[in-house]
């Protein structure tokens, strides 16, 4: 089942104009929903950006498909299918999805069940959903959308044109910049994991008195925890993209435009450079520094500084990718030889 594109149907010619493409087929073909190429049906628009999915287009039930300019069908296409040819099919469909998001933006206004402190500041054109709590001294910028059951803590700041999905917590004194999206149930400014050992073997909690600063244009996934600093700030620089289920500990700094995949854990006071690509389930020990442009493969354990920019590393412990690949080949060879000797 597709998802609704808009209250009004769009023609192929209108969509081609939006996407900067050309129509190959019926310019008056109309669609009102988005659909996957595997099971799209009449009245839906889909896209083909990966050769692995080309087989589905020859039986496609969609009314319109977005394809690249160089797509050359190897078999006959359905007579009911109109193509919109574009330079970049994936990028064009992403643009279409962005348009869908705008259509589905909540209307402005404050739900009657929201609780907003009299000293809080709410910008123009905002949506404040059901059960939202905005505490003393909080500031929310213009045109931001805060969906149900979110919390904006005391003296916290949320910039303009932001989107918070249900259940997000931005805790006291934390700051989120403009044009940021934070997915459901993420906590910004949670208490860091700081305990001082005592002579009797127990532990005393170390207060975390700092905050979190997330700069403009960041996307944070669902169920992430970004801990406030012990002193100073935990900082996510502009343009960073964090997947779901990521732990960012106290006083971490993540450089601008760095992308981090799910289930990564970053221990305290680690500094990650800009334009890094970090795979899923990567673990960082505390107090390490990662150079700009570093690429880290999934499940890598980073236990020391990476000082050379644009390095690709993987493994436990982390090592240069070529060295890791040679290690894996040698290990497999040893295992095969071991079992061969056992026979």
φ, ψ dihedrals at 54, nearest 5°: -60, -35
343 to 79, 174, 218, 239, 338: CA distances (angstroms): 62, 63, 57, 57, 9
Catalytic site residue from 111, 117, 127, 250 = 250
Which residue in this structure is represented by tokens 């970053």? 266
For residue 134, give the 3-state DSSP assignment.
strand
Dist. CA 89–CA 84, nearest whole Å = 9
Dist. CA 12–CA 9, nearest whole Å = 10
Which residue in this structure is represented by tokens 């310019």? 27
Dist. CA 132–CA 288, nearest whole Å = 38
Q: Across 30-124, where does the E strand assignment appear?
A: 30-31, 33-34, 44-47, 64-68, 82-86, 109-110, 115-116, 121-122
Closest to 214 in 3D by CA, of 198, 231, 227: 227
For residue 92, give the 3-state DSSP assignment.
helix
Contacts of residue 318, Cβ cutoff 8 Å, sequence gap at least 6: 296, 300, 301, 302, 303, 304, 306
11 strand-pairing partners: 30
Contacts of residue 76, Cβ cutoff 8 Å, sequence gap at least 6: 58
Cβ atoms of 45 and 5 within 8 Å: the answer is yes
For residue 18, give the 3-state DSSP assignment.
helix
Dist. CA 295–CA 27, nearest whole Å = 44
Dist. CA 282–CA 23, nearest whole Å = 44
Alpha-carbon dihedral sign for residues 216, 222, 226, 227: positive
Is residue 127 flagged as an active site residue?
no
The pair of structure tokens assigned to 179 is 């044009």
Catalytic (active-site) positions = 250
């Amino acid at each position: 089942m597709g998802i609704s594109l808009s209250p009004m149907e769009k023609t192929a010619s209108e969509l081609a104009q939006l996407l900067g493409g050309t129509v190959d087929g019926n310019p008056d073909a109309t669609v009102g929903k988005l659909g996957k190429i595997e099971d799209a049906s009449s009245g839906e628009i889909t896209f083909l950006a990966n050769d692995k999915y080309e087989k589905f287009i020859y039986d496609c039930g969609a009314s319109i498909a977005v394809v690249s300019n160089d797509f050359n069908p190897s078999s006959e296409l359905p007579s009911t299918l109109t193509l919109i040819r574009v330079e970049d099919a994936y990028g064009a469909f992403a643009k279409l999805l962005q348009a869908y998001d705008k259509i589905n933006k909540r209307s402005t206004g404050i739900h009657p069940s929201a609780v907003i402190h009299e000293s809080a500041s709410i910008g123009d054109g905002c949506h404040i959903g059901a059960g939202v709590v905005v505490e003393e001294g909080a500031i929310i910028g213009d045109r931001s959308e805060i969906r149900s059951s979110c919390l904006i803590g005391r003296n916290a700041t949320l910039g303009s044109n932001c989107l918070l999905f249900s259940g997000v917590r931005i805790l006291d004194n934390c700051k989120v910049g403009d044009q940021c999206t934070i997915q459901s149930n993420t906590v910004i400014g949670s208490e860091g994991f700081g305990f001082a050992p005592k002579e009797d073997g127990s532990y005393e909690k170390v207060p975390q008195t700092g905050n979190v600063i997330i700069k403009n244009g960041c996307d944070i996934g669902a169920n992430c925890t970004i801990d406030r600093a012990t002193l100073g700030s935990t900082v996510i620089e502009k343009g960073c993209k964090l997947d779901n289920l990521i732990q960012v500990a106290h006083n971490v700094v993540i450089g601008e435009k760095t992308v981090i995949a799910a289930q990564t854990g970053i221990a305290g006071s680690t500094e990650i450079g800009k334009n890094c690509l970090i795979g899923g389930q990567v673990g960082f020990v505390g107090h390490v520094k990662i150079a700009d442009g570093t690429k880290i493969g999934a499940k890598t354990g980073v236990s020391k500084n990476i000082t050379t920019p644009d390095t690709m590393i993987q493994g436990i412990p982390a090592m240069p990718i070529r060295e890791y690949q040679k290690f894996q080949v040698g290990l497999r060879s040893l295992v095969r030889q071991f079992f061969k000797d056992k026979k």
